[in-house]
Every structure is written in structure tokens, then in C-alpha cells.
Chains A and B, each alone.
Chain A
Amino acid sequence: GAVVSQHPSWVICKSGTSVKIECRSLDFQATTMFWYRQFPKQSLMLMATSNEGSKATYEQGVEKDKFLINHASLTLSTLTVTSAHPEDSSFYICSARDFRGGGGSNQPQHFGDGTRLSIL
């Protein structure tokens, strides 16, 4: 259980293009999902918390107009990188917690396989 799927796994596009990344919880519902960014040899950095039916919460320094998050259903969150530039190239990973077993906020986050974004 607790499978998180991310799509696409790899995107290469020209500078100025907007790119949408999907994150789905396949076998559970997730009112909250999390979006991370990981640069080579660096740790995962939380970008924002996606909340179903309401606005996302962004971490300090993350431009909300640049990284648009929509969490329209209990199993789907999307991250859109608007007008992407080479400095946005990174590995983007989403996660969600499965509360079916109880444990509340102590439940671990389960991660998707990430999206490698390369902006030319």
C-alpha cells in the first residue's frame, strides 16, 4: 500500500515553457501532499504543502507565482513551473502520508519517483 505516482518522470523543454507535473496517491486519499526539490548531491528541500480544496502553503523563498500548485481532488496534486528557465532545472519529488493505519501526523511521508526537469 501507500503508493505515490508521479508523471512525467523526465521533461526536457525550452526556456519560457510552462511545465505541469502530476502527483497521484494510487491506493489512498491524501488531503495533504508535499512538493520537494532536490539538486545534485543536496538534500530534499520542501517547497510547498499542497492542501486539497484550499491554497497551498509555500516555504520561505519559494515563489508561489512561479510554482503553481493545485490540489483539486483527494488523490491528485499538480505542480506547474511557469515560464521555466535553466535555473529551474532540478529533480522535483512529491509525497503524501497514508493515514489508513492511524498514527496521525506521525505517519511517514511516501514519495513518488520524481520528475527530472531540464530546461534548455
Chain B
Amino acid sequence: EDQVTQSPEALRLQEGESSSLNCSYTVSGLRGLFWYRQDPGKGPEFLFTLYSAGEEKEKERLKATLTKKESFLHITAPKPEDSATYLCAVAEGGGNKLTFGTGTQLKVEL
């Protein structure tokens, strides 16, 4: 059975304090690893897709990387508006089913 574990559960950073979020996964036949951002009371907003080990994607202050067992979401010089829950999900087999982790709740303070 596919498993996705995210750590830490919660993270509090000062503005400008860079850090990384971790997503460990076990899946047979990875079809893609997805990062989403979810604000309270909203649906997840797509950030990145990673397909193969060694791949990296960047968007503004965020950078996602992938190995055979885990993915990292690096946040460089975060701002308060980066505060949200960051979700990791993996797709396997036919690619339709996403298995989500429980997320990392990030709070960036001034």
C-alpha cells in the first residue's frame, strides 16, 4: 500500500529564515509526486510535479527536489504570505489515484 509521510507536522519560521519540508514515500511504480499548497478553508493549489529522481522545479521562493525515496520542498527567504499547509501526494499505476500526506503547516512570522 502506498504511503506518504510528511515532516515536520508544523513549522514556524521568521520572515527570511529558509527551511525545508520533507515528504517520504513508498510506492510501487511512481507516476509522479505532486506538491500542493492549501490555505484554510480552501482546496489545494497545485505547485509542482516531479517525475524522476534528480528532478528539480522552482517557483519564486519555492524549490522542489526528488530522490527515489523522498522529496523536499525548500523555502528560501519566506514571507508571511507563504504561510499555509503544504501537501505532498504521489500517483501510482494508472496515475488517477493520488495518495496524500497529512501536510506540513507552515507559519511565517514577521
Contacts and interface: CB of A to CB of B under 8 A. Distances in A.
Nearest to A57: B96
Contact of B102 (A41, A104, A111, A116): A41
Nearest to B103: A43
A106 interface: yes
Contacts, number: 60
B96 A49 contact: yes
B102 A108 contact: no
A44 B44 contact: yes
A43 B43 contact: no
Contacts of A49: 96-97
Task: Bin the interface of chain A by size.
Answer: 20 to 34
A111 B44 CA distance: 6
A114 B87 contact: no
A109 B98 contact: yes
Contacts of A84: none
B42 interface: yes
A51 to B, nearest CB: 10
B46 A43 contact: no
Interface in B27-53: 31-32, 34, 36, 41-46, 49, 51
Nearest to B4: A43
A64 B6 CA distance: 31
B102 A6 contact: no
Contacts of A105: 31, 91, 94-96
Given A41-B102, A95-B43, 5 more contacts: A6-B43, A105-B95, A109-B34, A110-B46, A114-B42
12 contacts: A6-B43, A41-B102, A44-B44, A44-B87, A44-B89, A105-B31, A105-B95, A108-B32, A108-B46, A113-B43, A114-B43, A116-B41
